[in-house]
Every structure is written in structure tokens, then in C-alpha cells.
Amino acid sequence: MSSFGSAYRISTFGESHCKAVGVIVDGVPPGLPISEDDIQVQLSRRRPGQSDLTTPRDEKDKVTILSGVEKGYTLGTPLAMTVANQDQRPHDYGEMDFYPRPSHADWTYLQKYGVKASSGGGRASARETIGRVAAAGVAEKFLRLTHGVEVVAFVASIGNVSMEPMAAYPCEEGQDEEKQEAKWLAKWHEWWRVLKTVTRGDVDKNEVRCPDDKVAGRMRERIVKARDAHDSIGGTVVCAIRNVPAGLGEPCFDKLEAKLAHAMMSIPATKGFEIGSGYAGTDIPGHVHNDPFVLREGGRLGTVTNFSGGVQGGISNGEDIYFKVAFKPAATIGQAQATATYEGEAGMLAAKGRHDPSVLPRAVPIVEAMASLVIMDALLQQLGRQGARALLPEDSNIPGVLTGKPPRGGQTEAEVVTTIVTQADGPHKVETVRP
Amino acid sequence: MSSFGSAYRISTFGESHCKAVGVIVDGVPPGLPISEDDIQVQLSRRRPGQSDLTTPRDEKDKVTILSGVEKGYTLGTPLAMTVANQDQRPHDYGEMDFYPRPSHADWTYLQKYGVKASSGGGRASARETIGRVAAAGVAEKFLRLTHGVEVVAFVASIGNVSMEPMAAYPCEEGQDEEKQEAKWLAKWHEWWRVLKTVTRGDVDKNEVRCPDDKVAGRMRERIVKARDAHDSIGGTVVCAIRNVPAGLGEPCFDKLEAKLAHAMMSIPATKGFEIGSGYAGTDIPGHVHNDPFVLREGGRLGTVTNFSGGVQGGISNGEDIYFKVAFKPAATIGQAQATATYEGEAGMLAAKGRHDPSVLPRAVPIVEAMASLVIMDALLQQLGRQGARALLPEDSNIPGVLTGKPPRGGQTEAEVVTTIVTQADGPHKVETVRP
Amino acid sequence: MSSFGSAYRISTFGESHCKAVGVIVDGVPPGLPISEDDIQVQLSRRRPGQSDLTTPRDEKDKVTILSGVEKGYTLGTPLAMTVANQDQRPHDYGEMDFYPRPSHADWTYLQKYGVKASSGGGRASARETIGRVAAAGVAEKFLRLTHGVEVVAFVASIGNVSMEPMAAYPCEEGQDEEKQEAKWLAKWHEWWRVLKTVTRGDVDKNEVRCPDDKVAGRMRERIVKARDAHDSIGGTVVCAIRNVPAGLGEPCFDKLEAKLAHAMMSIPATKGFEIGSGYAGTDIPGHVHNDPFVLREGGRLGTVTNFSGGVQGGISNGEDIYFKVAFKPAATIGQAQATATYEGEAGMLAAKGRHDPSVLPRAVPIVEAMASLVIMDALLQQLGRQGARALLPEDSNIPGVLTGKPPRGGQTEAEVVTTIVTQADGPHKVETVRP
Amino acid sequence: MSSFGSAYRISTFGESHCKAVGVIVDGVPPGLPISEDDIQVQLSRRRPGQSDLTTPRDEKDKVTILSGVEKGYTLGTPLAMTVANQDQRPHDYGEMDFYPRPSHADWTYLQKYGVKASSGGGRASARETIGRVAAAGVAEKFLRLTHGVEVVAFVASIGNVSMEPMAAYPCEEGQDEEKQEAKWLAKWHEWWRVLKTVTRGDVDKNEVRCPDDKVAGRMRERIVKARDAHDSIGGTVVCAIRNVPAGLGEPCFDKLEAKLAHAMMSIPATKGFEIGSGYAGTDIPGHVHNDPFVLREGGRLGTVTNFSGGVQGGISNGEDIYFKVAFKPAATIGQAQATATYEGEAGMLAAKGRHDPSVLPRAVPIVEAMASLVIMDALLQQLGRQGARALLPEDSNIPGVLTGKPPRGGQTEAEVVTTIVTQADGPHKVETVRP
């Protein structure tokens, strides 16, 4: 259905050629200061026509709040928001309409609904994401005000041009094995530093939305090459979420990574999702992949490394959450393609008009939006549980647990172990002997 | 929460040390022949102690159907199924309990619930998946009986030992560019042939559950190496779903790939999900990545290639669905690890007992189970829509659409195009000139 | 939350003084012919200012369909519909705002949300029901086209002026006991005839919306009396739903009567719900209250009486569904009331402006709307189940059941019984002796 | 479906003749002390065979907690609870099975599912309520511990034997009009006193579960009369819920009274629901029906009267909640009934065995259970909202509202008004002149 979330629940509507697209948001906390300007910021980042890399259609995409806000504050009732469509008429049918666009949603929508909208794929349009971004604007404001949550996404690769250090674990056995591993680990720490510090300002420095300017230049070339060939090219978006409190995510099915995966894979053109070490983690041995605990300033536990990506057992652990999303090349291309009509007759299809050679730069605020929606929903659910728990008598707990230090004389089995320690010059392996 | 699905909805319960684990399944179609034996098959594949590669705990895991079935047929009412736990007592606390296990759920569960179960991670236990597998047994039976749906998963990699051909798109420009591309494409067609034909019998030929015996041998070595080092290693599971009718998946948020991603990422220890071309698809150009339509026997449209993985615009297109799931190395290892207690005191933790050096072989039936649950849920939702649509007068459709062949004299813009054609000896690029 | 239904799901939004009120409808079957005119009919019946009995505010309440419809047919995607508010500015605060209106939602909304909308009760406004009525217009069209479903509600009482025959069961014991009972039963059959035949045309003959003109006249007097005293008066609405197929309603919690009760009690100002015999049924003995089965034309079973109100075990049985809803007197009255401010200071409150002395006439289309929404949702759910069941092999059923006639020589225990038989001149009791 | 609630969600299972009936409860707050004994209390009150007025089947109904509890405290994970069935075999089919029982669920279940369970109505069995009562035991414990919530239901009428004072509003005009009204109002205050003080101990003093012993004696006679005639008789249950905090209930569709109505009408054999003044409220004029606010001890607002039944605008106001539920006579009776077989053949049906002549006494704990489930769910939802609101800066509110006392010189329009005042000797009307 067209709804997402449970405690913070959004319901979107709208096709490309109807009067408007929009969203209803239910579960908005009351008393939150919010304005259309707050919402517009990310909508404008999502809008087409921002650069010569994206489709030049100039959609204004001005949002209107219809309900749920009074004198600048939320009432706790549903917020409805709409963005008018510029082209509100179904288009005239032409020859192109006899062909389902390859790898687009034309044919599957017809299979599903048995009717065919003039826009072909109906809701499978990038315009559908407007409602998501608007709804996330409210969530983001709340998360920022109450927890200082920061959600920053950026383009990490276009085609095979990549800024990523997710190198394979060094598996060659030999004399400098340990050195290789330390080097490899240092690259991860470097990556975590990027994730910890990158800002939306850094991301918007260039039109590709890659914070590494040098890589961005090569990405731009790759997109221009696709554009000039009336072709398209995919890539990946990485997203970091910072200052998420520990304890979010609902076992067993609504684990935080499961909801994030659901959210990201519901964005048009996505083909993959990975969190933390992701696919690279499949060949890192357990003793390296495990994130050891350490006491942080302020007295809470943190982890030395963050292969987990901020989530353990489906629940946030307070570390930075980061994940990567794969986007395929856009299905609509100007090049002629040999394919078949709905009736099965072979023929050629060439899309008219101008199309995004790469959806990646505009996907950045959409990924951020879906991330905010997931965190917001998980937070509200956890607040309900915490509220309930806080009402119980203080001694309401399972006896004999967590009473403090280990009993006198406690001994572990291991005598010598290797620890990963992060120092100024990078990570080191340290051997420790227990007395 | 502990429920998954809407039209076919499962609710699971149970920790490692309570009386039983199990599931309630709501939305089961009435009149389906089902027995405990039907359910047991996959539960036994999931069970520990099947080989020297998995944990030797001998859990019997015999399922009991408590309700919803009479004389061998479902009543349409909820099926409750339970599996008794062998060890029903919370364990005595030892020194290990002062340490949250690194990358396990001990610490995050405590953050979430404020209480600590003796099993540490509470529901973040592999035993929790028993209810899923049991519920999927019923779904699988229905899908097989009514549509001949086949769900087959297998281990595609262990560490860096991989059977996969998902090679990067050949991007070197030069004289044999086209030849490189054809070779690369041929590998994909070979892969699609594997996905189209592999059976559970093939998969169970060896204890690793990799259908390629040669690769399986090397995988086995990798797992044994981890086991002997009291370490662990991750890997990937690939799953193919065949004979899924077109039209399944609910836009916009419950796209089929979004639900599959959600389902897979809710399995313990998963770090990534990709469908169709996945991450490899991010550097395949659009004109190659698009799957052209072709008329199939029986008169319905199919696609020449299947980079989409059987899903377009979030809706199944009738082609094989395939996806890959990344599993991290198991968090619980026998090696001693430098970490901290709940109180933040640095120390060493070494897990006692024997643990799975790799969860991959046992993950296979769990991946299959979650896939079946997603397809079943989407099918029931679509059946409701189709039933409603079928009640409307036949002419209830948008006028002027899909009336047949292109109008006389219709011409596309392109005159010369390149087509991908699959012949006996593999895929070819063919240039076509339109008259 | 502001959503209702599962397979046919509506989400409403809007307060009295925001830009618009409206609704998103998800789950609309594709290919349904629908126009704004179809929707407007019931909205106009709901609108204030229709007679001198209702509030003279002239709200135009013109509906706009924003999405989900193309060229007059539904696409299967969400329909968004809005109605602009005439007065879009929060009002200026006056002394009245220091008093929570007694029996209104001002105080409870403040307790719930901690913020106070200028409209006091926020969403607890009659305007909120606009979205419901619009969403039901689509459902009604579908139900009518596919099953000939008719939903007709009417005002059955205003204050103590009532058209109802729901007399108490005659319990005086004595010589003419049986005659009394037959007379009493005849009244019920008369009532069922009304419910079987009343049309919206009959209901709209007068401004009170009571199909019995004579009673309507007295009702009008009662309302006028309240109006002239700056007071208000409640009453009851009865609703009949005809041609509902058997099998709707989802055990155990979403029984059809439970969903109808939920729906009706979610309408502002409702205080009670009863279905079939309702409260009157609590003193009818079981042997009279049970509805005996009888073979109907067309070969399906029907019932001789209909104390059940068309629902048995939570599932529709194909007979007419009827129920009654109690509405309290409107809380906002012009008379001065002794009450207290938010701060607890005693004082007097007199509402300014003109207010509905009775909500009953305008409640009629709202009751019909909620009834249509419940039936539509239950129908779509059942269509999914039937679709699934139809895919199973024909012999998929529990063995030994429903194989035909009773075995030879079968005998019941009873020898003499009393039967209720409906003849031209009314119901009769008939004694039968079994051979 | 077989689930109820959102934040506190129960899923029940089980038919009469399967292995067990039971429930999974999701959303249980962690750290709640709970034992099987806590749960058993209400299950035993629900159990058949408690007196000669109820069916003498001796079902033990011992509950087992399978999961979610450790060492006497909840873990925050799902609680599964089961009660074994004594008779786990589907019965042999006899002649009775050819007849759908009139007003029972046999026929409608067959229409819905297309299969016929040996128990006829499948889940439409009183045994299905066991899961509800068990789940409510946990909710009740939480509500009592944290808010001192008391839920007390009792039998208010059997047939036409009633303890209720819900007299019609005195409408005869004449000289002693005011006196009549005061007398009538005094009866309501008396009723409210009963509702405020009645305990489960009072209710269990007699086997009918009516706290008024004198009326209970006459009720008993009425039930015995039905029993001896192999007949059945209905009645009403009234339920009071005390100490519910203000602010519970979710506009617009999940108003507290709507959820209560839904919950009650999902109990087998219910035909009606009313809250507060209910149907009697339909002829009380608005100026009497409105509940004036008054400052209570402790500084919060209360209401002088309670026609609202503790709920305004769908949200609890902190006053006692009370409602009444109508139960029809049990459908299964020993008397022979003229009816038809599934095939439509006319014949006689007489139920064998012993059956409850009145379900009312056993319905009392079921009504209490459903009430607790609704309050618990609403409370957890509100705790989430309050938690979110509490995180916002203190000044997050709509400007210019609720700033304190009325502005100097503020005057209402009314000069003389009548107030209802409750004194030791009952309610009085007082005229007040504003300076």
C-alpha cells in the first residue's frame, strides 16, 4: 500500500499527470515548530532542473501545508501536504504507448491493475517521492531539535568511479600479513572519519553531490558521457546517521536495518542495500569483524570499530549508522531499443524528450528522507516503551542480574590476547597478558 | 514488533531458554492439505547438529500444530505451531555475563528493554527463526500447489571463496570492446541458467549447501579453518524464486524488492541485500541493463535478459526472481576478545562451548522461508485486487488505451539499432535497420 | 490514528480552520468509473445549511479529486480528495477561549496533545467527517455496481419522538400469552419490511430525514423547541444495508458487527450502537430469538426471522443488515452554562453564533458512509480469501463433511415442536409432530 | 483477523477441538512482575462449571506461559500463553451436523471459509475468549501497578429483570417539572455512586454476578426458568473503569469509545454497546446532558455530572468510564427447533448435551478483559506521544493560548444561570446572578 511507518505513519498519493502529489503524516508530535520553508529545503534539493546533469524540466515543487499546523506549531493531528503538478493533463497517446518501456514499470503496472495510466508506470514515478521528502522534513526537524540527529547522504560512486575504501580483507598469507591487515584497518578508520564529519554543505559543493571534489569531477565526466550517448548510468549513495540514541529498532521483524533496507529498496531504481561492513564484511573473520566495547566519555559504552554500522541485533547501539544503496541506470533512455509492443510485436522504442542520465544526485535527499522516516518511527515506538517502563517500580527487574563488578577471583580462560587499539597514527594490534 | 506480513501474517514468540518457541499464522487459505511432516522438512534443514560444520547441539526441533487444522486440512483460522526448547531453564550467571558480547545483541537489548534476559540477546537468537520456517512451510505448500512456485537458496560464497559470476562490466575502451561485452554477457546468461535449474536436491548434495561441488570443497576448507581457529566467517546466500505470477508487489512502499529486503535483513547476522544485477548493476550502462521485451510461448511477454531480477517498478514481471544476501561472521567466537564489561571495565571475553563457525549452511532454509512468506503475502493481496477487478463490468477501463496495433504509418525515430539476441551459442548483438 | 480499514484504507486530515479537509483512499479497485459528481451527492446531503433545522452556515463543500483517477476511471492507486475550508484563519481568541466547552473535546484535546488549537477540539469537529463521506462515495459506487448493495439510513427518533417498533418482549404470563407474542412478532415483521424497502428518496422527503412523514412532523417540532430554547436534542439513526453477500466479516476481532460498532462510535456525538434485536433482544427467549433457516428461491439458505440483523458469528449471512446508532444532544449550545475555566475558576459560558440544535438529519449520510466503508473493507478481504481458495484443487476439503442428506433412519430426539411460520397475514406459531 | 490492538497487540488462536487455545501478546512493557497465578484468576472466573447456572462441563483451563517471562519478570518480548483443550478430537459426525444451528455461526463460517470444522462455528466458540482473558491479565497488572486502574463489570440485567436506574428523562410538562427532573437526576447520581464503588468482591458474592443481592435472586430465577425449559435468556453487563488518566483515545477513528465498542462487539453473543448516558441520552436536552467542569482537589478539572461516561471527543477525561453491553440469548438450546439442513431440507434440530442457559455470569470477566486491553493499548500509544512531546523545548506551544486568567473586565453575555450542584442530600439546581 502507499503507507509507511507505524507510530510515525505517512501515506502518499499522486501520479505524474494528476492535479497534485502529496502526503498525509500521522503521528506528528504536538508542539513542534514547523513551516513550509522547513519542508521546502529538501524538496528543492530533490527537484529536477538543478544542473545540466539532471533533467532540465523546471518543476517548481512548492509545498503547501493543508492541515495539522497552526501559528507555526504542529497540533498533533495529521499534516497534509501537497505539491501541484505542472502538467495536469494525461498526455495524448502516441506510438510510444504501444511499447512497454524496458525495465520500467509500464508492463508490470498493467499486469497488476489491469488498467493503464497515461503515465505508464502510474505511481512508479520519481514524482511520487515528493510526499516522502515532505514528510521527512517534519521528522528531521523533530530529530534535530530533540537529539541533534544528523542525516547526511552523498554519491559514493557513479558507474565504476568510486570514492569508497571498502577494500577486500587482505587474505594473502605471508610474512607481512599483519601489516597488510593494519593498513586495511586504517582505511576503514579513515572511512569512518569521513562518515563522522561529512556535512550537507560538503555534499552540495558540486552538482554530483560527492564530497570528494576530485572524484566528483570524474563522476561528472561519466555522467556527461552517458548523457551525450542518450544513455544512462547508475551508482551508489552512502548515508550516515549520527547521534541516534541507543535502543531503536523493534525485534524481530522490524529490526532497524530491516526497516532501513525496506525504506531504501522502496525508492525507485534501487537494486541493493548494505549496512556497516555489508558485502565486504562477508570475508572479514569474526575476531576482526566484532566491534569491541570501550568506555566512552560520559560513561556510556561505545565500540572501538564500527563494522556493525551502528546496529546490533537489529537495535541501534549509539554509534554512527551508515549504509549504502545501489541505484541502477535509469530505464528511460533516448537511445532506440529493440523490444516488443504490449501485443508482442517486435519493434524499436526510442524515448522522446530529455531524461536524467543519472538519478544519483537527486537521489541524495530521497535517501536522507527515507532514513529520517525510519529513525523517527523507531524513536516514537521506543519512547512509548520507555514511558511504560518508567512507570513501573524501580526494582522491577530480573533478580541477580547486572549487580556490578565480577565476583572476586573471576578468571577468564584466555591468557594472551590481541587487541585493536586506535591511536593518533591509526589502529594498532596490541597483545595483552592477563595476570 | 514480532509480526510480519499483512494478508498472510505471522507472529513469532520465544527465547532460547523459555518453554517453547513458535508462531501464529493468520490468513492461511482454508482447505489447504497440511501436516506436521510438511512443516518438519525445512525445520530439519534449519536444525543445528547436521554436520561437523555446524554447532553439534542436538536440538530435535519437532513441530506441533496446535490449531487451525482438522483432519489434515486448514480451516482458514489461525495456525499455531510450537517447538519445545530442550533447555528450558535460564542458565546460571557466570563471569561471562558481565561482558556484553561484542557485535552481539546483549548490550543493545539491555538499552532497549532495560532488563537483561539470561540468554543475553533475548529474541536475537537463531532459535527465533524456527517460527518463521514453520510458518513458511504452510505458505510454500500453497504456492507450490497453486502456482508451482519453487524457492531454492544456496550458499554462493564463504569468505572470499565464491561461485559467482557477477563480474564488473568491462569498461576498458579499445578494439575488442564488443567482444569483451559479449563474453561478459554470456557469463550472466550462464548464471541465469543456474538460477533457472538449481534444485534443493542439488543444494543438499554437500554439507555446505553450495550446488557447485568443487567450490563447495573450498568453502568447506574455509569454514574448517575458522572453526579450528575458534573464529567465524561470513558469506552470501543466493535465492531464486521461480514461477511467481506477474503482478505481485504493492506500490509504493511495499514493492516486492522492498519487502524481500525487509524480510532478509530481519534474519540475524545479515548485512546486505541485492536483487537482480544488484551492486554490479551500478556500472552497467542503461542500454545494456534494460531488459528488452519479447513474446514468449503461450503468448505472454517475457524479457530477453533479467538484470531486473524479476521485478520492475516493485512488481513481479513473471521472470525468475533472484537476490543475494550477505551474512557477517557469527559474533559468538571461542577466541578471547579484549572488550569491556557492562560497567565499562576493560577485560577479556572468551565464549565457552561450541559455536557455529559459519551460519551460512543453516541460513539457506531461513532465506527460503522469508522469501516464501513475502511472495505468499503479496499473492494474497493481489488476489483480493483481482477479485475486485473481476467483479466490474468488462468495459471498465480507461478509454483509448491498449486498443491494439500501432496506427498505420507509425514510425520511430531510430533507423539503426543494436539488439541483444540469445542463441544456442550464447548472446549476440545484432544490428537492425528499420525499413 | 486517522486511518480506518485495512484492505480499503482511508486516512483523513483537516481541522475547521486550516486550508482544507480531505482524505486519501488506498485499496480502490482499478477500473472503477468515478467522478467528482458521484462523490458530491452525499457530501451535499452532509453539508450544513440545508434547512432551517440545521446550522445556517453556507459551506459549499465542493470536492476535488487530486489523484488516482484518469479519464473517469480509477487507476488502482490512492485517491486523494480535498474540500477547501471557507474560513481558513484561526479565529481571534476571546473570553470564551478560557472555558473548555462542557462535554466538548476542548479539554480532552488539551490533555492529549498539550497544545490548544484555536478551534478547541481540533479534529473533534463535524468537518472531519467530510473525508469519510468522500471516501465512502467511491466504496458505495463499487458496492452498488458489483453487488447492488443499498445503504439507507434514516432518523428513527428525536428525543422521545420515535418511529420504532422495538417493543419489549411480552412477558406477562396468562391466557392470551401466545396471542400477545404473535402480535409482538408481527410488529417486528412490519419493521423488517420497512428496513427492506425504505429508499434515500423516502428519507429525503422531509428535512428531518425520517421516512414516516407523520412522525417526522413531530420530530421537527421537537427540534424547533430545542432551537428556540438555544438548547439541543439527540436521537437515533437506523441504517439498513441490503444485498450484502454472505461471508463478510473477519473472526475473531474484526467481526462485522464489531467493525460497524467501531465505525459508528467513531462518529462525533455517538453514545450507543446496537445491531439486529439489540438491547430489545436481551429479554427475548432463545427459542424465539433464534432465526430458523429456510430454503430461499435460488437455492440458498435464508432465515425466517432476522433478530440477528444479518450477522451471525461475526459474519454476514446474506440477510439485511440493520443497526441503530444513538446520538447525544450537541454539546455546543447558546444557553449560558455554569462551568469552570481551564484554570478552574467558576464562571458562565454561552456559545455565540448559531449552532445545530440537532445533528441527526446531517448524521444520516455520515452513518451511511461509515457503513459503506466497513462493508467495502470486509468484501475486499473476503475476495482475497475466496481467490486463494479457488486456486486449490476442488477436493481440498475436510473429509466426511457435507456429503449430502442425513443417513437413513436418522432421528432427532424431539417429537413435538413449535415453529414460527410467516404467512400472508403475518407470523404464526405451528406445532409439528415428527413421525 | 485474529489480532487486536496496536501498541499492545494480542493474537489469539484455537478452536474447541484442537490441541490448545491461546494467545501471543506483543508490546508488553519490560520489567513487569507477572506469574501464571496472576493470569489464572480471571481465567477461573471465566471457566464453565462454576455453578448450577452455567454449563457443568469441568474445564480446568490452566494457563501456561511459554515465553517472554524470566524469573517472574517480563522481558519486553512477546508472551505466548496456552490452555490445553480437554477434548482434542474432532467429534464424530451425527445427524445434528446436517443442520446449521440457527443464529449460530455454523452456516456463516461455511460461507466464509468453504470448509466446515467439526465444531461448526470454528472460532465462534466461547473457548476462543480464553486467549483474550489471559492477555488481559498482563495488561490489568500493569494498569493496576502504574495507575491504580480498576475494571469492574457486573450483570445489570437478565431478561427483563434489571438493577438499572437509566430512567427516561421526565418529559411531561407541568408544575412539578423541576422536581421530577431533580428526582431523575438524583437517580443518576446514585448510579454513579454504584459505579464508583462496586468491587469484584461485591460482584462475586452471588453466582449471577450482580452486586445487588435482591435483584440477583430474581435474575437467578429467570435463568433457572430458561434452563428448565431447555431455553436460554440474554441480558446486559455494565462495566466501570476507574482511575484512567485523561488523554487516552486516538482521534479520529480510534476514539476510546469506538475501540471499546469494537472490543465488546467482538465478544460472542453481543448485540449492543452504549457508553455514558447511551440510548437514554438521546432524549436528555443538551443543557442537562452537558457535564459542567469544576475544580477538583489536587487542582485538576473534573465534571459535576458524568453523562459523557468519562470520554469526550473520543478521549478520556479522567472521570470514571462506564458502558453497557447487550448479550443475546445463547443460540444453542436443548429445545427442538424447526429449521433446515445445509441442503435446505426442512427438519427439526435439538441440541444434545447441557448448555449455558445464560452466558451473562461468565461474560463478566470477558468484558473486563476486553476493557483492559483497550485501555492498555490507548495508554501505551499516549505514552509514546507524551514522551515525544516532553523532548521538545518547553516553550513549544502555539502563541497566545492559555496564558492564564481572563483579561480584566471580561464579561459573558449571560446574567442569570442555573447550575446543578451536588450536595449531601443530592443534586440541586441553583440560580446564579453574575455581578
- Angle between helices D129-147 and D36-46 in degrees, nearest 10: 130
- Of C163, C128, C204, nearest to C366 by C-alpha is C128
Chain D residue numbers touching A72 (CB-CB < 8 A):
398-399
Task: Give, in order, the Cα–Cα distances in Å from B216 to each of B161, B203, B209.
Answer: 9, 10, 8
Mean pLDDT value across chain A = 87
Comparing CA positions, the residue from D138, D137, D119 lying closest to residue D128 is: D119
Q: List the grid coordinates of B89.
A: 531453564
Contact C229, C354 (CB under 8 A): no
Between B75, B117, B123, which is nearest D115 by CB? B75
CB of D324 closer than 8 Å to CB of D234 = no
Q: Which three cell numbers stand for residue C290?
A: 433464534
In the CATH hierarchy, which fold is given to the domain comprising A3-391? Chorismate synthase, AroC fold (3.60.150)
The pLDDT of residue C254: 97
Where residue B250 falls among pLDDT bands split at 50, 70, 90? very high
- Does C189 participate in catalysis according to the annotation? no
Residue C95 pLDDT: 66
pTM: 0.93
Q: Residue B22's beta-bridge partner residues? A: B13, B82
Instruction: Specify the range with the lowest mean pLDDT, choosing from B169-178, C146-155, C244-253.
Output: B169-178
Distance of alpha carbon B335 from alpha carbon B349, whole angstroms: 8
Provide, as residue numbers in chain A, all residues whose Cβ is less than 8 Å from the Cβ of B373.
Answer: none
The answer to whether A236 touches A326, Cβ cutoff 8 Å, is: yes
List the chains bordering chain A where 3 or more Cβ pairs fall under 8 Å: B, C, D
Q: Describe chain C by its helix, strand, coil percentages, rounded to 5.
A: 30, 25, 45
Rounded Cα–Cα distance for residues A151 and A372 (Å): 7
Task: Please check whether residue C44 is in contact with residue C63, taking contact to mean a CB–CB distance below 8 angstroms.
Answer: no
Which of D108, D266, D301 has its CB closest to that of C247? Answer: D108
The answer, for C77 touching chain B at a CB cutoff of 8 Å, is yes
How far does B409 lie from chain D, in Å, by closest CA? 54
Helix (H, G, I), strand (E, B) or coil at A257: helix
From chain A, the residues in CB contact with C70 under 8 A are 15, 17-18, 90, 117-118
Q: How far apart are CA A199 and CA A201, in angstroms?
A: 5
Is the CB of B79 inside 8 Å of chain D's CB atoms? yes
C426: pLDDT strictly greater than 50: no
Q: D346 is written with which cell numbers?
A: 426442512
pLDDT band at A173 (very low <50, low <70, confident <90, very high): low
Q: Give the whole-angstrom CA distance, residue A398 versus residue A400.
A: 7
CB-based contacts of A73, cutoff 8 Å, min separation 6: A30, A31, A32, A33, A34, C115, D396, D397, D398
Residue C370: which H helix or E strand, with range?
helix C360-391
Nearest to C265 among D115, D255, D402 (CB): D255
Per-residue HEC secondary structure of chain D comes to CCEECCCCEEEEECCCCCCEEEEEEECCCCCCECCHHHHHHHHHHHCCCCCCCCCCCCCCCCEEECCCEECCEECCCCEEEEEECCCCCCCCCCHHHHCCCCCCCHHHHHHHHCCCECCECCCCCHHHHHHHHHHHHHHHHHHHHHHCCEEEEEEEEECCEECCCCCCCCCCCCCCHHHHHHHHHHHHHHHHHHHHHCCHHHHCCCCCCCCCHHHHHHHHHHHHHHHHCCCCCCEEEEEEEECCCCCCCECCCECHHHHHHHHHHCCCCEEEEEECCHHHHHHCCHHHHCCCEEECCCCCEEECCCCCCCEECCEECCCCEEEEEEECCCCCCCCCEEEECCCCCEEEECCCCCCCCCCHHHHHHHHHHHHHHHHHHHHHHHHHHHHHHHHCCCCCCCCCCCCCCCCCCCCCCCCEEEEEEEECCEEEEEEEECC
Tell me the residues of chain A between 18 and 37 that have a Cβ less than 8 Å away from chain C: 18-22, 24, 26-27, 30-31
Query: Per-residue pLDDT for chain D (435 aa), expressed as one digit of tens each?
Result: 799 999 999 999 999 889 999 999 999 999 999 999 999 999 999 988 777 776 655 557 899 999 999 989 999 999 999 999 987 765 555 667 789 999 999 999 999 999 877 766 678 788 999 999 999 999 999 999 999 999 999 999 999 999 976 667 886 666 687 888 888 999 999 999 999 999 999 999 999 999 999 999 999 999 999 999 999 999 999 999 999 999 999 999 999 999 999 999 999 999 999 999 999 999 999 999 999 999 998 888 999 999 999 999 999 999 999 999 999 999 999 999 999 999 899 999 987 777 889 999 999 999 999 999 999 999 999 999 999 999 998 665 655 444 333 333 333 333 333 444 444 444 444 444 333
Question: Among this protein's residues, is D320 annotated catalytic?
Answer: no
For residue A320 the three cell numbers come to 554512527
Residue type, A179: K
pLDDT at B415: 37
B357 to chain C, closest Cα gap in Å: 42
Q: Look at residues C78, C32, C139, C79 and name the one whose alpha carbon lies nearest to residue C379.
A: C139
Amino acid at A375: I
Which residues, 6 or more positions from C408, have their beta carbon under 8 angstroms from its beta carbon? none
- Per-residue pLDDT reduced to its tens digit, D315-354: 999 999 999 999 999 999 999 999 999 989 999 998 777 7
3-state helix vs strand vs coil in chain A, percent to 5? 30, 25, 45
- A125 interfacial to chain C (CB closer than 8 Å): no
In this predicted model, what pLDDT tens digit does every residue of C21-63 receive, in sequence order? Answer: 999 999 999 999 999 999 999 999 998 877 777 665 555 789 9
Comparison of pLDDT for A297 and B167, the residue scoring more: A297
What are the cell numbers at C393? 484443487
pLDDT digits (tens, 9 = 90+) for B225-242: 999 999 999 999 999 999
- pLDDT (tens digit per residue) in A287-306: 999 999 999 988 889 999 99
| All cell numbers assigned to B421 | 539476441
Percent of chain A with pLDDT over 90: 71
Residues of D in contact with A398 (CB under 8 A): 31, 70-73, 75
The mean per-residue pLDDT over the stretch C127-134 comes to 96
Predicted complex ipTM: 0.92
> Which candidate from D13, D78, D90 shows the least CB-CB separation from B2?
D78
pLDDT at position D415 is 37
* Separation of alpha carbons B330 and D131, rounded Å: 37
> What was the pLDDT predicted at B404?
36
Chain segment A156-167, per-residue pLDDT in tens: 999 999 997 666
Percent of chain D with pLDDT over 70: 84
The reported pLDDT for the residue numbered A407 is 34
Residue type, D151: V
Beta-carbon separation of D278 and C410 below 8 A:
no
From CA A79, how far away is CA C2, in angstroms rounded?
A: 11
- The reply to whether residue A392 touches residue D31, judged by beta carbons under 8 angstroms, is yes
Listed residue (D104, D114, D127, D105) closest to D14, CA to CA: D127
Q: Would you state the cell numbers that stand for residue C132, as one nine-digit string?
A: 469519510
Higher pLDDT, B118 or C114: C114
B73–C384 CB contact, under 8 Å: no
How many Å apart are CA D66 and CA D79, to the nearest integer?
A: 7
Name the residue of chain A whose CA is nearest to C1's CA: A26
Nearest to B212 by CA among B147, B265, B163, B251: B163
Amino acid occupying residue C5: G
Q: Which residues of chain B have a CB within 8 Å of the CB of D22?
A: 66, 80
* Chains touching C, CB cut-off 8 Å, 3+ pairs: A, B, D
For chain D, the domains span 3-391
Find residues 232-251 of chain A whose CB sits inside 8 Å of chain D.
251
β-bridge mates for residue D430, sequence order:
D419
* Contact yes or no for D384 and A380 at CB 8 A: yes
